[in-house]
Structure formats: structure tokens, C-alpha cells
Amino acid sequence: MAAPAIVRCTNCGKKNRIAVAARGTPRCSVCHTPLPWIVEADAQDFASAIDADVPVLVDFWAEWCGPCRMISPVVERLGHNLAGRLKIVKLDVDGAPEIAARHGAQSIPLLILFSDGEEIDRLVGAVPEPRLRQWLEPHLSPAAGTPSS
């Protein structure tokens, strides 16, 4: 099983432990600010990692993949910017080939968006951040405190 991630709160600086699988959305233990939910999953915890209360963006990647290394910081930046609205799960296809095969990861980087554990959309290749955000936005709920139209 993948180890919990340690995330520093962008508001107060407190280090928080973030579980790979949990209900709700992670918040700082001190100031309760939404935390970026960016975790690494493995074959054992993948099914529970994609079952969340917010949409889950799975980044299928490999260490040897140049385009994967290009898009990884973009995905992580979006995870920080969309804290409380999106969960990021990183899955190394070399470490979990059966999960990659089950989801048809024939080309990487592959980004698959899940809602309630079910695939709702996918995007293949390294795309610029504005394109990735445009692709994600229709699937995200409004930020807390933001009026919905």
C-alpha cells in the first residue's frame, strides 16, 4: 500500500498527513484550509484511491517517459490550485501494469478523470496548462463560497 503523503498547508504552513483513500476532502488540521490532495497509488490501493467525494484525475505515467515528466508539474500545480475540488492520483504504469492495461493506457501520459469511481473523460498526451484546465473545469464543482450559476 502506498504511504500517506505529507502536505504543507499553503495558509499556515502546518504539515499534514494526507491519506491515499478517504472520504470528504483533506483540510489543514490547524486552520482548516482545503489542502491539495495529490497522492501516489499502487495496484493494491488504486480502487479505493479513485473512490472520492470530488472528481479524481489519475495521471498514468512512467519514469522513462519524457512527456510524462513535462506534464507532471502542470498536473500538480492544478492540484494545488484546485484544492478541495479535485484529487490527483499518480499511478506508475511500470509498477501497476495490470491497472494500466485495465484502463487502456496504451500511450502515456494518460490522464483519466473519475467521478464516483467511474471514468468520465480521458486525455492523452502532454497538453498546456490552459488546455488541461479547460478540459477539467466542466467536471468540477464550484469552489466553496463561490456562487454557482
Catalytic residues: 65, 68
d(CA 137, CA 142): 9
The residue type at 32: H
Pairing of strands 15-18, 56-61: unpaired
Name the grid cell of 70: 513535462
Q: With contact defined as beta carbons under 8 Å apart, do 115 and 139 qualify?
A: yes
